[in-house]
Amino acid sequence: MKLSHILCLVAACFCMPVLTACQGPQAPTQVAQNLSSIRAEMMNGRESIVWVGKSLTSLRSSNGADLKLQFENYTRNLETMEAKAGGVKLVLDMQQDRTEQYFQKWEKEIDALASEDLRRRGGDRRDIVLQAYNDLKARIVTLRKSFQPYHASLRDTHRFLASDLTPAGLKTAKPNIELALQRQEKVLSDLDKVVEGIDQITKN
């Protein structure tokens, strides 16, 4: 094992009591960088969700004169959100794979240490970070589950109005619009919890 790796593990082990008491798990640099990439994509995705909500609210309140304009605005924001969601998924899957590979490598490096005490301390340190990471993954699963019905509501609204863009059609679609806006609140709440989980792991 490289001397730099051993020194990093020693430093991590001696700092562990302070970190767990007042600063959280403080992930290793590589893990923190991976999660920071996910956070950036999440925040971009959040912004696009907010804009979809704004355009959907405007569409709901539209009168006959500006109905077409409001629908076009909703369409643009929905397409942007879907593109952002695809980007979030791509980065999320890629960075999760990298992070989990790092945890496996970290475990092997700890197991290779000659000092039994250092192996124990290093293992405890890794377990703390891994527990926080597993909690984060659970939050991501919750977000994915809430996003799916939300997106379905948005798509149903768009599909229906695309074939009946009239005041009467809008009136018919309003219950589904309300449902989408309600589901959006849950999605944003779940997304914020994911970001909070990332911050807990990556903060210094």
Does the structure show a pLDDT above 60 at 114?
Answer: yes
Reading phi first (left if > 0) and then psi (alpha if -120 to 50, else beta), residue 26 is in left
Does the structure show a pLDDT above 50 at 201?
Answer: yes
Predicted local distance difference test score (pLDDT) of residue 126: 82
Q: CB of 142 within 8 A of CB of 136?
A: no
Does the structure show a pLDDT above 90 at 156?
Answer: yes
> Domain boundaries in the chain?
30-202
Work out the percent of the chain whose per-residue pLDDT is above 90.
46
Q: CB of 200 within 8 A of CB of 25?
A: yes
Task: Say what the pTM is.
Answer: 0.78
**Considering only the top CATH level, what class is 30-202?**
mainly alpha
